[in-house]
Structure 1
Amino acid sequence: MLLALSILGLALAALFAVMCLVNLSVLRPPEGAGEAAVSILIPARDEAENIGPALDAALAQRGVSVEVVVLDDGSSDGTDEIVAERAEADPRVRLVRGAVLPKGWIGKTHACWQLSRAARHPVLLFVDADVRLAPDAAARMSGEMARQGLDLISGFPGQVTRTWAEKIVIPQIFTTLLGYLPLPMARARPDPAFGAGCGQLMAVRRRAYGAAGGHAAFASRMHDGLELPRRVRASGGRTDLCDATPIATCRMYDGAGAVWQGFSKNATEGMATKRALPVWTLLLFGGHVLPFLTLAVALIWGAAWSAVLSGLACALVLGARVAMAVRLRQSWLSVAAHPLGVLVVLAIQWVALWNGARGRRAGWRGRDYPA
């Protein structure tokens, strides 16, 4: 039994390692020169601490003409006042006051839909309020779209992690993305199932956005990073992922509680379904946790072949994680505690699935949504 488990762990670890290294070799930063004028669109709800720096970064763009439109989605902390003051001082800034959230809509989805209708330029760059753009970000993303003939391009900003929970859990986003989405195949095939992106930073051509139905096409869905690329593909557009580490940064969540809540809100639109989660559990537990367990048991029992196979599996996983950490500027704690991070992510997914089955609601930014 131990030998069989060691073989299974090695096979799953090898799958992850090979896929990760292939994807890292083809995932590149955007390199094109700015082509079209860009509307930088920022949905904001109670973002008084973030909105000022976000505006500073957006207005510092060079190499392309920009406007910056901020939608205040019912903030109670003075976010709208900060934006209004900046709009008076700089004509490139506009404040849109959000309409009442309609029934069946998600707050951010509704905010982005309103922003798209207020935008004036041919390229829409959706940016979360906690994202800090590098000065050439808009030019490089719009230029890469022109260079590759893309209708949508997206990427994960460099993730700023300060607490132990952030350092251990947030990098697991890239474990699933780079370890199990074959980017070369996704680029070669127009299948919507291969569409992927990050809602923190996503540029799309206005005409492709309209053809796909925009955010209104998935009004009740939270995971815009998956939904919009897939719908653009379904309507005949081309999408791609880039390495956004050099062009933007983001502190996604602040502390353990926010990490758990943030991962939970999107869980049932990703892994946490009755069909998908058992498969993800096999891939993640079997490939990232099981080898370390079988290695420990093999060493205690003196099972030489199991120890060799499990040790090789652990080396493959950690080697791929080191490559990922170096490329994406991740904390070394994320590598050392990688199996723990995988276990935490799986725990979040199983709890979300359980809560969803019991009809419990997911909360975010002061709003409750069906789980």
Structure 2
Amino acid sequence: MSIYLWGLIGLEAFCLLWILLNSTFIKPLANPLDDASNPTVSLLIPMRNEERNIKELIQSLQALTYPSFECILLDDQSTDQTKKLTNEAIKDDERFSLIIGKSLPEGWNGKVHACHQLSQHAQGELLLFIDADVRLAPDTVERTVATFNKEEAGMISGFPHYADRSHLSQFLVTLQHFVVYAHLPISIANTTNHPSFTAACGGFIGFTRKTYDAIRGHEAVSSSLLEDVHLARETKKSGHTMKLMNISSSVSCYMYESLKEAIEGFTKNIFIGINKSVGLALLLITWYILLYILPVALLMISITSGQILYAVPLLLIVLQKGLVDYKNKTSLVYCLFMPFSALLFVFVLTRSMYTSIKGKAYTWKGRSYS
């Protein structure tokens, strides 16, 4: 048992060091220069049954300080008061317009089709797609434009600060940051065009118009349930630069209102995110059980036996999650419950894999996808 314990401690320590080093390769959005040009930016927002978000979303966007932007919102066949509340919120602000989405064509994902329609109406030199549950700091657009210039990027994305709308869902939602920092070699992702090494978040994706047109935009990933990652891969395949940034100081997201909603949301894309590889899924399940769940049992042994060494693995995984949470403005309370987050991850990945293997449809916002 002592050999296993020391081996686990060594592995946990290595993972902590890896996360620490890996985090140095993901930069915050750049500070704008005083003499910088102001290209027109199109803020493009797909909405389906988003009545709970409309008021705060529009208030956030109306507070933006960038001098040259248009904001186009699309009501994607909503069955609630999304259209009515949007019109009330934008009033006579000429920077904003609302369009009504067309019926979903066969073979298209709903959000992808909505974004495709938005892109057809956009006039900007830069296109910034954000979700309705996202809130932007006033200088976000300036910083995004400055990042495009500084990084000479064709596409930019990042994972936002996840605001605390539902305590239980946060245990799963904030794990997104951890998965990126723990599993993606960010140095390779941000310095090469290898499509296998990339990550993106659909809540905040920016393109130069040149790059977007070069990859055929959302039409290139029309059926994807993981369009953010697939767009990033298409960008790299086309030879354009894609950068993953730390946007947590500028962008917040109120992602889910309940744990049930979070489970449904992640179930539809987590297995697809690993290319439906059963082998990789089983490896990840085993990894998270051994490294991030089992230390709870070792803590119990430490308490009953009085041997402090058995508590060290749990301390190291709390430090791992805590480091990631600190980097992304997440409350450090959640790192104390990393084993619970890992348990949720294992459950959702297993559920997503089972759904796919059984040939069942994924469901989201009243639509079903194979």
Indicate whether the TM-score tops 0.5.
Answer: yes
Percentage of matched positions with identical amino acids = 28
8 Å Cα contact 2:40-2:126 kept in structure 1: yes
Match of residue 124 from structure 1: 127
8 Å Cα contact 1:126-1:202 kept in structure 2: yes
8 Å Cα contact 1:9-1:290 kept in structure 2: no
Taking the aligned partners of 2:241 and 2:118, their CA distance within structure 1 comes to 22
How many residue pairs get aligned? The number is 365
8 Å Cα contact 2:184-2:198 kept in structure 1: no
8 Å Cα contact 1:13-1:288 kept in structure 2: no
Q: Any residues of structure 2 matched to 1:244-259 within 5 Å, and which?
A: 244-259=247-262
- Taking a change above 3 Å as real, the CA distance of residues 37 and 327 of structure 1, as seen in their structure-2 partners, is same
What do you get for the CA RMSD once the two structures are aligned?
2.1
Q: Unaligned stretches of 5+ in structure 2?
A: none
Q: In the alignment, is residue 61 of structure 1 matched against residue 64 of structure 2? A: yes
Q: In the alignment, is residue 181 of structure 1 matched against residue 184 of structure 2? A: yes
Give how far 1:85 is off. 4.7
Match of 1:231 among 231, 234, 239: 234
Taking the aligned partners of 1:184 and 1:267, their CA distance within structure 2 comes to 23
Taking the aligned partners of 2:11 and 2:221, their CA distance within structure 1 comes to 34
Match of residue 277 from structure 2: 273
Give how far 1:78 is off. 2.6
Match of residue 317 from structure 1: 317
**Secondary structure of 1:275's aligned partner:** helix
8 Å Cα contact 2:41-2:125 kept in structure 1: yes
- Taking a change above 3 Å as real, the CA distance of residues 227 and 178 of structure 1, as seen in their structure-2 partners, is same
Match of residue 17 from structure 1: 16
Taking the aligned partners of 1:67 and 1:224, their CA distance within structure 2 comes to 23
**Secondary structure of 1:126's aligned partner:** strand
Q: Any residues of structure 2 matched to 1:277-288 within 5 Å, and which?
A: 277-288=281-292
Question: Structure 1 counterpart of 2:29, which letter?
Answer: P
Match of residue 205 from structure 1: 208
8 Å Cα contact 2:165-2:256 kept in structure 1: no
Question: Structure 1 counterpart of 2:199, which letter?
Answer: A
Taking the aligned partners of 2:261 and 2:238, their CA distance within structure 1 comes to 35
Question: Structure 1 counterpart of 2:313, which letter?
Answer: A
Give how far 1:13 is off. 1.9
Which range is displaced more, 89-98 or 5-14? 5-14
**Secondary structure of 2:190's aligned partner:** helix
Taking the aligned partners of 1:283 and 1:241, their CA distance within structure 2 comes to 25
TM-score by length of 1: 0.92
8 Å Cα contact 2:54-2:89 kept in structure 1: no
Taking the aligned partners of 2:291 and 2:192, their CA distance within structure 1 comes to 27
Give how far 1:321 is off. 1.9
Question: Structure 1 counterpart of 2:50, which letter?
Answer: E
Q: In the alignment, is residue 145 of structure 1 matched against residue 148 of structure 2? A: yes
Give how far 1:131 is off. 0.5
Taking the aligned partners of 1:160 and 1:261, their CA distance within structure 2 comes to 19
- Taking a change above 3 Å as real, the CA distance of residues 44 and 162 of structure 1, as seen in their structure-2 partners, is closer
Question: Structure 2 counterpart of 1:10, which letter?
Answer: I
Match of residue 328 from structure 1: 328
- Taking a change above 3 Å as real, the CA distance of residues 12 and 102 of structure 1, as seen in their structure-2 partners, is farther
- Taking a change above 3 Å as real, the CA distance of residues 312 and 38 of structure 1, as seen in their structure-2 partners, is same
**Secondary structure of 2:148's aligned partner:** helix
Match of 2:162 among 159, 162, 171: 159
Give how far 1:4 is off. 4.7
Question: Structure 2 counterpart of 1:291, which letter?
Answer: P
Which range is displaced more, 67-76 or 327-336? 327-336
Give how far 1:11 is off. 4.3
8 Å Cα contact 2:271-2:281 kept in structure 1: no
Give how far 1:187 is off. 2.0
**Secondary structure of 2:250's aligned partner:** strand
Taking the aligned partners of 1:174 and 1:11, their CA distance within structure 2 comes to 23
8 Å Cα contact 1:10-1:287 kept in structure 2: no
Taking the aligned partners of 2:4 and 2:228, their CA distance within structure 1 comes to 35
**Secondary structure of 1:185's aligned partner:** helix
Match of residue 73 from structure 2: 70
Taking the aligned partners of 1:364 and 1:149, their CA distance within structure 2 comes to 36
Q: Unaligned stretches of 5+ in structure 1?
A: none
**Secondary structure of 2:129's aligned partner:** strand
Match of 2:118 among 87, 109, 115: 115
Give how far 1:312 is off. 3.7
Question: Structure 1 counterpart of 2:117, which letter?
Answer: Q
TM-score by length of 2: 0.92
Give how far 1:301 is off. 6.3
Give how far 1:143 is off. 1.1
Match of 1:51 among 49, 54, 63: 54
**Secondary structure of 1:109's aligned partner:** helix
Give how far 1:280 is off. 1.3
Give how far 1:188 is off. 2.4
**Secondary structure of 1:100's aligned partner:** coil
Give how far 1:69 is off. 0.4
**Secondary structure of 1:48's aligned partner:** coil
Match of 2:297 among 290, 293, 299: 293
Give how far 1:350 is off. 0.4
Taking the aligned partners of 2:354 and 2:278, their CA distance within structure 1 comes to 10
Taking the aligned partners of 1:274 and 1:197, their CA distance within structure 2 comes to 22
8 Å Cα contact 1:40-1:58 kept in structure 2: no
**Secondary structure of 1:242's aligned partner:** strand
